[in-house]
Amino acid sequence: MEQNMQFELNLEVETFDLIKTLECGQCFRWNKVGQDNSYIGVIKDRVLKVKQVDNMLYVCSSNYDNLENVVKEYFDLCSDYTKFENKLKKYDQHLKTALSYSSGTHILNQPLFEMIISYIISANNNIPRIKKSVEQIAKKVGKKIQFEGKEYYLFPTVDEAKKLIMDDLLECGTGFRARYLLKDIANLDDKTLKAIYAMDTQEAYKFLINMQGIGPKVADCILLFAKHKMEVFPVDTWIKRVMEKIYYGKNTDLKIIRKQAMERFGSLAGLAQQHLFINVRDGNI
DNA sequence: GTCCAGGGAATCA
DNA sequence: TGATTCCATGGA
């Protein structure tokens, strides 16, 4: 216990697995530090250091304003994941098996603008490179934060991001996605982001898909991870592979997989998708 | 050298 | 609508 004295906020958690939640590819700004399974990440307006031991979550931060609420909101600690998982287990034997490995994975509540930019970068890319690009963008135009003697950078606001020129985005390794980012950032502002927040799922989907560099999969990821729309089912190469293997057979159209999965898993499709993703990525399926 | 990465746009028919 | 092809870049 003594090693946890440095953590200022202690929260009791249930059906929550910090590492699975942070390592399942939904977020790009967390890194493992040290040997004790602590993670440091930049979220919204602050840096967090977190660590889980059994049912306790230990947190410290660069900013203690409203910390408990910020942490509970970000990690979605107030939703009943025990109930969610029980429902998923009843739907399907494959999910039941998957959940025995990935139980406690939460869907985070992440900022809309950060998700839009991050998932445009994710197209035909891999997670380490996505993380690197997002980090470099934050370093170029995001606000600098000091935490435990080191420097961190918040993800930029829209106005801060408007300072980025094409060469900046190319230097950040975004490649062919740079021109999409440039155009979308120019067309976005706080008012538009608020409007997207207020839209229902279908309306937001239509709006997002009309932006440059956003297709069905990226739009679904933004809806799931920024707007917490658990009824969407993002279909990437991994998910296509696993869905074909356990349900539909090879060469099934992406649209069919998406539609049938949303019908199969209903209001919890997005959570089901995360569990399937983790299990296929880790070689369990 | 080749293949792949949490896809999408452009261009065809 | 549906099928192909191209897109930057780095690691395996």
- Dist. CA A261–CA A258, nearest whole Å: 5
Q: CA(A237)–C1'(B3) in Å? A: 15
- Dist. CA A19–CA A38, nearest whole Å: 9
Q: What is the pLDDT of residue A176?
A: 98
The answer, yes or no, to whether residue A215 has pLDDT greater than 80, is yes
**Closest-approach nucleotide to residue A241, Cα vs C1':** B6
- Model confidence at A1, in pLDDT bands (50, 70, 90)? very low
| Residue A125 CB lies within 7 Å of the nucleic strand C | yes
Q: What is the pLDDT of residue A108?
A: 98
**Closest-approach nucleotide to residue A122, Cα vs C1':** B6
- Per cent of chain A over pLDDT 70 is 98
- Residues written for chain A: 285
Q: Has this prediction a pTM greater than 0.85?
A: yes
**Closest-approach nucleotide to residue A125, Cα vs C1':** B5
Q: CA(A175)–C1'(C6) in Å? A: 13
Beta strands at A56-61 and A9-12: parallel, antiparallel or unpaired? antiparallel
Q: Which residue has the tokens 């995360």?
A: A274
The answer, yes or no, to whether residue A244 has pLDDT greater than 70, is yes
| pLDDT mean across residues, chain A | 95
- Which of chain B's bases lie under 7 Å from a protein CB? 4-9
Q: What is the pLDDT of residue A5?
A: 53
- Per cent of chain A over pLDDT 90 is 93
The answer, yes or no, to whether residue A30 has pLDDT greater than 60, is yes
- Model confidence at A130, in pLDDT bands (50, 70, 90)? very high
Q: Averaged over A252-259, what is the pLDDT? A: 93
What is the maximum span of chain A, computed from C-alpha positions, in angstroms? 55
Q: Averaged over A263-281, what is the pLDDT? A: 96
Element (H, E) at A38: strand A38-43
| Residue A133 CB lies within 7 Å of the nucleic strand B | no
The answer, yes or no, to whether residue A252 has pLDDT greater than 70, is yes
Q: Averaged over A147-151, what is the pLDDT? A: 96
The answer, yes or no, to whether residue A2 has pLDDT greater than 60, is no
Which residues contact residue A88 at a Cβ distance below 8 angstroms, ignoring those fewer than 6 apart?
Answer: A95, A96, A99, A265, A268, A271, A272, A275
Q: Answer for the pair A18, A50: CB distance below 8 angstroms, yes or no.
A: yes
> What is the per-residue pLDDT across A84-124, written as a single tens digit (0 to 9) for each?
999 999 998 999 999 999 999 999 999 999 999 999 999 99
- Model confidence at A285, in pLDDT bands (50, 70, 90)? confident
Q: CA(A132)–C1'(B1) in Å? A: 26
Distances (CA, A) of A194 to A115, A167, A188: 14, 29, 10
- Dist. CA A32–CA A30, nearest whole Å: 7
Q: Which residue has the tokens 């609420």?
A: A69
- Dist. CA A104–CA A93, nearest whole Å: 18
Coil/strand/helix, residue A52: strand
Strand intervals (E) in A195-241 = none
